[in-house]
Structure 1
Amino acid sequence: MTEAPTLADYIEDFKKFLMYERNASAHTLRCYMGDLEQFYDFLCPPNAQGVRRQVSIHDIDNITIREYLATLYEKKKKKTSIARKLATLRAFFRHLCREGVLELNPAQLVASPRLERKLPNHLTVEEAMRFVEMPDLETVLGKRDRAILEMLYATGVRVSELVGMNLEDIDFRNQCVRVRGKGRKERIVPFGEHARKALELYLGVRGQLLAHAPEDKREPNCVFFNYQGTRLTTRSVGRLIDKYIRQCSDLHHISPHSLRHSFATHLLDAGADLRAIQELLGHARLTTTQQYLHVSTDRLMEVYDRTHPKA
C-alpha cells in the first residue's frame, strides 16, 4: 500500500513547480521555501529524537493558519513579514487546489494584516543628477559605478535585473536594453545619451576587471563585474550605493530602489502615460504603478500651496 504524501512532499512538489513551470528566480525560490519551511517547523516540530510528527494536508484549515500567524505576532515579527508569509501560504495552497489535492484554499479565509501604506522614497531631479555623477571617472571602478548609477536612473530597472545584464542585451544603435524581469519575463527599455556615454566609457576598461576572474568563474558576456572580475551581486550594488550615500550628507533617505522610484516619478511629473511607465518598470499590474500617482499628487499640492496667491 502506497503511503500518502507528507506535507514535506507537497512542499517539494511546489518547489519544482516554481522552478520548472514558473521560472522563479533564485531569490523568489529562497523566499518561498524559507516561509514554507517555517510553517512546516510549526506544524511538524521534531521530538527529542529528531523525529517529526506528521500532519495530513487535509487537516490544515484557516484556524491552523491563524494559530501560526499568532505565533509570529508573539515573536514581534513585522507586519510586512507576516503578510508575505501569508501570501506564500496562499500561493502554496492555491497550487494544491489546481493539482486537485484540495478543494478549498484555507489561507484565503485568513485576512492579511493591515499595513501602513508607505510612499516610495525618491530623489528630486537635481539630487538624482548630482548622485549619479558622484563616481570618480579617473578610476576603473569609478567608471563602472558611474555606468551602474546612470543605467539604474535612466532605465528604472531593478538591481537584480541590472546585475543580470549581458553584453548581447545592450543595443547601442537604438539605445535600448533587453531586461529579464520577475518570472523571467523580458522587456525592452530605452536609455538616454548620458547612460550611453557612461556605458561606453566603462566598457572600454571592463576587460581590466575581467582579467582578474578565475577561469572557472569567468563570464565574458557579463556586463558588470566586481573587482575580482566576477559578476556583481545585488548585495554588492547595495554596498556600492551605500558608499556614495555616505558621501552625500543630505541623501540618507535613499536606497538602491530609490533610483527606480525616481525614474518613475520624474517620468510621471513630466507627463508620461501611466501605462507606458508600467511597461518600462515591468509591473504586472497597473495598481503597482499607481503608487507613483500619490507621490506626484503630493508634489503638485506642495507647488500649489507655495505658489497660488489664494492657497
Structure 2
Amino acid sequence: MENVKIYLNFFIEYLQIEKNYSQYTVVNYATDIEDFFSFMKEQAILHLEEITYNDTRLFLTQLHNRNYSRKTISRKVSSLRSFFKFLVREEKLSENPFSLVSLPKREQKIPQFLYEEEIENLFSISDCTTPLGQRNQALIEVLYGTGIRVSECCNIRLTDIDFYIGTVLVHGKGGKQRYVPFGSYAQDSIEHYLSQGRKLLVSRLKEPDQHSYLFVNHRGSPLTDRGVRHILNELIKKASSTLHIHPHMFRHTFATHMLNEGADMRSVQELLGHAHLSSTQVYTHVTKEHLKRIYMSHHPRA
C-alpha cells in the first residue's frame, strides 16, 4: 500500500516525541498498524483513501475468527483509530474510517490480592542475615508499601529515594514522574539492605560504580522484571504455599488494603499513577466484597 511506511514512520516519531510513549508501546502500535495493512493488501485495497468503515468491520471479524481476546482487539482498534486520526490531522486523509468503530466491552476481572496474613507470612521468610535475603525483604516491602509497578521498582535509583521525608521518585509510564511515600517498615528494610547486602552484591561487578540502581541481582547488575518474578516464586516455595503470586499482585494488594482502610479513591489513583479514575475504580469491586463479608459476619439479621 503506497506511502504507508512513510506515514507510519511519521506516526512513530509523533508517538515518541510528542506523546513520549515508551518503546514497548510504540512497538505495539506499529505491529497493530502493520497487521491491519497486511489484511488490506489481502483484500486488494492499495490506497488509504479506499478504506471504508465496512473494511474496518471486516478486519474486526477476522480478529474475532482468530480468537483474539477482547483486550487485544480493543488495543488494535485504539492503535488504528489513533493512527488514522493522526493522518487526518496532518491532512493526509479527509476521514478516519475507525472513528465509528466501537470498542468491544472488556471483561471486568476482579484483581487478585493477598490477605494481610498472607502478606505477613511472606515478610517472615527471607533470611535477613544474607545479602540476597536483605534484598528480597526490601523488594517486597517496597512493592507492597508503595504499590508501584514492578518495572518502576526495577528502575529506582539511589538518588530517587528521600529517607528524610520517606518518599521515592517514581518514573512511570510515558515518562511521567510522581512522588510516592513509603512507610517505616520499607525504610528500615531498604536501609539495612543498603548498608550491608547491596554493597556486597555490587562488589562482584568488575566496575562496582557503574550503576546506581537500588535493586540488583546476585551478580550485582540491575534487577529485571523477570528477576523479580523468580524471587517471588522462590519465596513461595520456601513458604510451602500453594498460592500463585505474580508481581503485579502486590500492586493490587496495596490498592485493595488502602481502600479497605478508608483511603479515598483520588488519593489511591494518585499513588498508583493511574491517568484515569476508571482504572482505580476496579478495586471497588474487591472492597465491596470485603464490606459484604463484614456485614454477613456481624449483622444480627444477615
TM-score, normalisation: structure 1: 0.88
**Which shifted more, 200-209 or 183-192?**
200-209
8 Å contact kept, 2:45–2:51: no
Residue number in structure 2 paired with 1:179? 170
**How far apart are 1:149 and its partner, in Å?**
0.8
Shift of 1:213: 3.5
Tell me by how many angstroms 1:131 deviates.
Answer: 2.0
For the Cα contact (< 8 Å) 1:170–1:177, is it kept in 2? Answer: yes
- 1:155 pairs with 2:181: no
Name the structure 1 match of 2:198: 206
- Superposed CA deviations along residues 79-113 of structure 1, whole A, max 9, x for unmatched, are 22222211221222222233232343322322222
Cα distance, 1:292–1:219 mapped onto 2, change above 3 Å = farther
- 1:81 and 2:78 are equivalent in the alignment: no
Q: Aligned partners of 1:38, 1:307: CA distance in 2, in Å?
A: 55
Aligned length: 300
Deviation digits for residues 102-140 of structure 1 (CA, Å, limit 9, x no counterpart):
343322322222332101111112212222443222321
Instruction: Quickly say closer, same or farther: Cα 1:301–1:138, change in 2 above 3 A.
Output: same
Distance, in Å, in 2 between the alignment partners of 1:78 and 1:108 is 21
Unaligned runs of 5+ in 1: 46-52
Q: In 2, distance between residues paired with 1:96 and 1:249? A: 56
Query: What is the aligned partner in structure 1 of residue 88 from structure 2?
Result: 97
Q: Is the 8 A contact 1:121 1:261 kept in 2?
A: yes
Counterpart of 2:201 in structure 1: which amino acid? L
Q: Tell me, yes or no, if the aligned pair for 2:121 and 2:239 is still in contact at 8 Å.
A: no
Task: Tell me by how many angstroms 1:226 deviates.
Answer: 1.9
Q: Distance in 1 between matches of 2:134 and 2:124?
A: 10
Q: Specify the alignment match of 1:14 in structure 2.
A: 11
Equivalent residue of 1:108, what SS? Answer: coil
Residue 95 of structure 1 aligns with an amino acid whose one-letter code is: F
Q: Is the 8 A contact 1:179 1:189 kept in 2?
A: yes
The aligned amino acid for 1:86 is: V
Say which of 48, 55, 61 aligns to 1:57.
48
Deviation at 1:6, TM superposition (A): 1.2
Indicate if the aligned counterparts of 1:219 and 1:230 stay in contact, CA closer than 8 A: no
Cα deviation 1:241-285 (Å, max 9, x = unaligned): 233234445563432111111111111111111111111111111
Give the SS at the match of 1:228: coil
Cα 1:247/1:66, change in 2 over 3 Å: farther
**Structure 1 vs Structure 2 CA RMSD:** 2.2
1: CA distance, partners of 2:53 / 2:84:
11
User: Percent of aligned pairs with the same residue?
Assistant: 39
Matched, 1:303 2:294: yes
Match of 2:266 among 262, 272, 275: 275
Which TM-score applies when normalising by structure 2?
0.91
1:138-175 residue CA offsets vs partner (Å, 9 max, x unmatched): 32122111111110100000111111111110001111
CA distance in 1, matches of 2:206, 2:50: 52
